[in-house]
Every structure is written in structure tokens, then in C-alpha cells.
Structure 1
Amino acid sequence: MAELTSDVADTICRTVELGVTITGAAVGADDRTHIFCEVLDPDRRCPDCNIAGQPRDRVVRVLTDTPAAGHPVLLHVAVPRFVCHTSDCSRSVFRARIDHIAPARSVVTARTARWILQRIVVDKMSVAAVAANLAISWNTVNQIATDAARALVYDGDHLDGVRCLGVDEHKWKHVRGQGDSSFVTVLIDLTPVIDGTGPARLLDMIGGRSKQVLKQWMRARDQQFRDRIKVVAMDGFTGYKTGSTSHTESAPGLS
């Protein structure tokens, strides 16, 4: 690997905003910039008893970060582990939380997820182009973008007040192949339109187009939501009708 100074690496990677300090950097034969860093001011409190633990060792977590100077970036984060000596605590060893850097089980930093969404939505880049810039797979980028978009659309109460449900299908032009695999089922809250209080709201988009797809979505909602639905406006596709009525047949006025 070709060595980089920590100052140069910190300048191009803006590691201060991640809450880490760089201990080393290099450009690898794979054309990736490898950044080695440590967590600044790690939380030493045990997640179970909330008592500070004693340092034990470190484990390295490798994360894809936003590109720097035209190169894909891998962060090698040394995450400290601690020993909990509280006598009545069931946990003996725990790892410092780094949710501010990356969520649990994520393979990219939190800011990379935002970067992916910005490139696709604002810059109109394809998923393939974004994946190439980050040197990760198409499937990984697509899943991250889907999850990020879902988090933006949904909040904890996004299904509250839905009385008029719209169901339609959409065919993605960029999906190869034929049949229902290239369709998604789109669910929309039409209540604001009916009430004259605003535009329709996107509730969900589910891969596939079938009775079972809609039935599974309705089944995953609580009974209070299903009882509240008074009107279902849907595409002429027969599967949607049978998929919705089986879960809303008790709702008066359903049409």
C-alpha cells in the first residue's frame, strides 16, 4: 500500500464529523483508500447496568465510507471493548456503541447511506454507478437506498388516520425480465384527498403483484388499522380485490 499522512487523510475524509481520529492511511492495490482510525471519547458504560467498564481490547470494524478524491474508501475502525465488573450484571464484556458512525450490522457509515440517497435522487445517478463509486455490490446499494427512502417516508404514526386506501401496481422499466417480478404494489393514503385537506400520501411499496402480496401487507397491520379502512380504491387487478376484502370485510361502508 502507498502510505498517506494522517493530516492528508483527515482533510479528504472529514473524519472529525464521524467522531474518530486517524491513526494511519494508505491507498491499496485495489485503488481503495484505507483509513485506520480510533473512536474518540468512546462510551464506557455497560448497556445493561450503565456502570463504566474497564478497557479490555479492541476489535476492528470495516465500513465503506463516502469516496475521497475519486477513490472508494474503507474505514478500519478500532472499536474498544470493556469488561463489566458489576457483580449482579449478567454482561461480562461489551463493545462501545458507535451508532453515530454506523448503525449495528451496517456495512457502510451513516453518512454514506445519506450520500447514496443524494446521488440517486439529486444527481440522478443509477444504482450501478453509485455502486461502482463505492466499490460495493449493486444489491447492497439498492437495499441501502430502499431502507433510507423508507425511513424518510415513514414515521412512527404514518398509518394513523388512514380511512381511504389506494392500491395500484407499477412496473419498473429498469427491471429485467417479464411477469410479476417486475411489478410493485403501491399503497397510498387517499384520506387527505377525500377530506380536501391535502394530497395523497405514499404508505408503502411492495415487490410483486398478487393477492398474497396485499394479503400479507394487510395481515401485518393491526386490527385497529384494518377496522378504520372504509374505502379501498384499487386497480382492476382481481387479486387486489380478494386480497383486501379478506382483511377488511368487517369494515362498514367498504367499497
Structure 2
Amino acid sequence: MLVIDLESPPGPAGCPRCGRVAESRGRKQISLIDAPMGAAPVRVRWRKRRFRCVDDACAQKSFTEQDTAVAAPRAQLTVRAISWAVAQMRRENASVQGIARQLGVSWKTVWRHLKPVLERLAADESRFAGVTTLGVDEHLWHHVSTKPVEDGGRGPKELTGMVDLTRDASGRVRARLLDLVPGRSARAYADWLHERGEQFRDQVQIATLAPFAGYKKALDDELDDATAVLDAFHVIKRLFGDLVGVRCPGRDWRVGVEVPEDQKR
């Protein structure tokens, strides 16, 4: 485990309630969980400054310095650790348990810090701006009971996922997950499209989808001006599925390699 010692330089500080210059009362050390460095967990020992308000009429009495660039008040994870964890979930498909294992803390500790951040990101509608190519596909979340999460279960098995497939100025596809909603049906997708509003629907020019009639119906109902196309993954999957067992002289099309002489036919 790596340990980082942190403290701010001495200097005057104002009372957060009345604004008067406070009296220094030394320092108090707290331990924070930081983003790992390589495979090693990291801890930050922050020697926070303590103060007492000199105004006897002020209700604040005493307070400790805060720096939201380091960590939120009463948080156990640093801002950097939370940002790292969100990035792990986005780019590496990491689970909360996997993140907790790398940080050396419990599942509950990680989720308590990540949940409000993820809820805030999910409520940010700005991620839907500029989406001109929209993809959709089903996602099987688990293989157990559909018992609600609030009752100790894992919730719905099937989800519908929407992805931004818009190309940037250099021609590269963004490939950003925009949303996940419960269910795999025309209604699940159509309701999501309707909730995005007319401005979002008007900007979508191309809509890719899996070979599922329900999603096509939702597009016909909500994105009738967009060009609907089968996504590349399912085109290739269907193509090679149709070619299974097909052989040409001297070549096996199933694997695309030369066939030994004694197997040619």
C-alpha cells in the first residue's frame, strides 16, 4: 500500500458562517482512499487545519478546513478515486465489487460514493446533444429471478441499450452508451425515444438496430424520417451464420484457411 501525506500551508481563514478571521486550533489527520497506483491501493493522510470562531455570538464555534478538489466533506473516497472508479465502469466494464477490491474497501463504501455521481450523470441531458446516428440492442443483465431490487433481487433480466454511433470530424465512431432501460420490446424503445423530445428525434439521421421486429416498430413510430439499417455486428454474424458448412474447392469458408489435401472435396 502507498501512503501520500497531504497538508495545506498555514494562513488566515474566515469563519464559514460569519466571515470573521478564525483562530487556528492545530491540525487533525484523516485518512482517505485514493485511486490505485498500478496494482497498489493508495491512502491519503490529510492533516486538515482546525479553527475556532472568535465571535462568541456566532453559532459556528469551530470548523475544519474543506477542499472539494480533494474530497467532499465526510467522504472516504477522494475526488480522484471517484473519477477513476467511474472511468473503470465506463471503459473497462468494471463491477462495483471489482472496484472495491482494487481500492481495498467494501462494496457499500464504493456504492455510497458512486451512486450520487452516477445519478447526476444519468440526469444530465447534455449527453444526447449532437447524436445523429443512434444504435440500439438488447442486453441480458443476469440469469436469475426478476425479483425487484428493493426486495433483494436483481431486477429485470432484459434491458434495452441505446448507443451514440455518430462519427466525429476525423470519421471515428463515438460509441458512447447513452442509456439503459428495463425491458426488450417495441414499447421500451419507443417510450425512450418519445421521452427524449422532438428536437432529439429530429437530429437522428441514421438508426441502427438488431434484427428484432420490436425495435423496428419503435423506429417506424418515433423515427420515421431516419434511415433504419442493420448494425454491422449482426450483418457479419448473419453472413457467417449462413456460410457455416459451405466449402469451395481448396478453401474452408468457415475459418478462412487452406484445407489439407486429404480433406478437400
Question: TM-score normalized by structure 2?
Answer: 0.49
Read off the aligned partner of 1:131 and give its amino acid letter. Answer: A
Read off the aligned partner of 1:199 and give its amino acid letter. Answer: V
- Equivalences for 1:123-134 in 2 at 5 Å? 127-128=96-97, 130-132=99-101, 134=103
Please tell me whether Structure 1 or Structure 2 has the larger radius of gyration of its CA atoms: 2
| Structure 1 SS opposite 2:130 | coil
Answering whether residue 148 of structure 2 is matched by residue 181 of structure 1, we say no
CA distance 1:97–1:162, shift in 2 (3 Å): same
Shift of 1:46: 7.2
CA distance in 1, matches of 2:225, 2:4: 57
Q: Is the 8 A contact 2:23 2:54 kept in 1?
A: no
Task: Give a deviation string over 1:64-116, Cα, whole Å, max 9, x none.
Answer: 3457997885857646467598xxxxx99876431221145643112333565
Q: Is the 8 A contact 2:189 2:215 kept in 1?
A: no
Shift of 1:159: 3.1
2:167 is aligned to 192
| Structure 2 SS opposite 1:192 | coil
Read off the aligned partner of 2:200 and give its amino acid letter. Answer: F
Q: Once structures 1 and 2 are overlaid, which stretch shifts more, 61-70 or 134-143?
A: 61-70
Task: Give a deviation string over 1:21-63, Cα, whole Å, max 9, x none.
Answer: xxxxxxxxxxxxxxxxxx54588367799x6742487888764
CA distance in 1, matches of 2:69, 2:63: 17
Shift of 1:176: 5.6
Q: Is the 8 A contact 1:55 1:83 kept in 2?
A: yes
| Structure 1 SS opposite 2:82 | helix
Shift of 1:162: 1.4
| Structure 2 SS opposite 1:238 | helix
Read off the aligned partner of 1:206 and give its amino acid letter. Answer: L
Read off the aligned partner of 1:229 and give its amino acid letter. Answer: V
Q: Is the 8 A contact 2:32 2:77 kept in 1?
A: yes
Q: Is the 8 A contact 1:56 1:83 kept in 2?
A: no
Q: Is the 8 A contact 1:186 1:205 kept in 2?
A: yes
Q: Is the 8 A contact 1:62 1:76 kept in 2?
A: yes
Read off the aligned partner of 1:198 and give its amino acid letter. Answer: R
Q: Is the 8 A contact 2:135 2:165 kept in 1?
A: yes
1:26 is aligned to none
Shift of 1:13: 0.8
2:152 is aligned to none
1:14 is aligned to 4
1:137 is aligned to 106
Shift of 1:123: 9.6
Q: Is the 8 A contact 1:61 1:79 kept in 2?
A: no
**Which of these residues, 209, 215, 237, is aligned with residue 191 of structure 2?**
215
1:27 is aligned to none
Shift of 1:191: 3.2
CA distance 1:114–1:55, shift in 2 (3 Å): same
Answering whether residue 221 of structure 2 is matched by residue 253 of structure 1, we say no
Question: TM-score normalized by structure 1?
Answer: 0.50
Determine what percentage of the aligned residue pairs are the same residue: 22
**Which of these residues, 107, 126, 144, is aligned with residue 76 of structure 2?**
107
Q: Is the 8 A contact 1:43 1:97 kept in 2?
A: no
CA distance in 2, matches of 1:228, 1:125: 32
Shift of 1:157: 5.5
Shift of 1:140: 4.4
